[in-house]
Amino acid sequence: MSEQNTLEVKILDKEYLVACPADKQKELREASVQLDSKMREIRNSGKIFGSERIAVMAALNLTYELMQSSENTFGDQKKLSKLEAQMDRMLGAKDAR
C-alpha cells in the first residue's frame, strides 16, 4: 500500500491541499489541471457567476463527458462481442465442411 502524501493543487486561482497516495500524484495533478481548465472555460463564458456555481457546472459537464465515454466504451464492447460471435460461427461453418 502506498504512503499518503499531501499534494497542493491550484484550481481557479485558489490553492487546495489534497491527501493523495504517492503513486497517484501525477493523475491527481492532471485531474486538477483538467478541472481548472473546465472551470475557467465556464467562468470566461460570462454566463455563470460565483465559484460554487462554476464548480457545480464543471462537475456536471465532466460527469456528462465521463458518462458519454462509458457508453461509447460499452457500445464498442458489444460490437466486439457480436463480431467475435460472428467469426466463431463462420469458423465453425468452415470447419464443418
> Model confidence over 43-86: pLDDT tens digits?
999 988 999 999 999 999 999 999 888 776 767 777 777 778 87
Q: Which domain, by its residues, includes 92?
A: 4-96
Domains held by the chain: number: 1
**Higher-confidence position of 75 and 14:** 14
Average pLDDT score over residue span 15-24? 94
pTM (predicted TM-score)? 0.66
Q: What is the mean pLDDT of the chain?
A: 87
Q: Choose among 20, 38, 42: nearest CA to 29.
A: 20
Q: What is the CATH number of the domain that holds 52?
A: 3.30.160.880
**Neighbouring residues of 73: CB distance < 8 A, sequence distance ≥ 6:** none
* Type of residue at 84: E
- Helices (H) and strands (E) counted in the chain, each on its own, are 2, 2
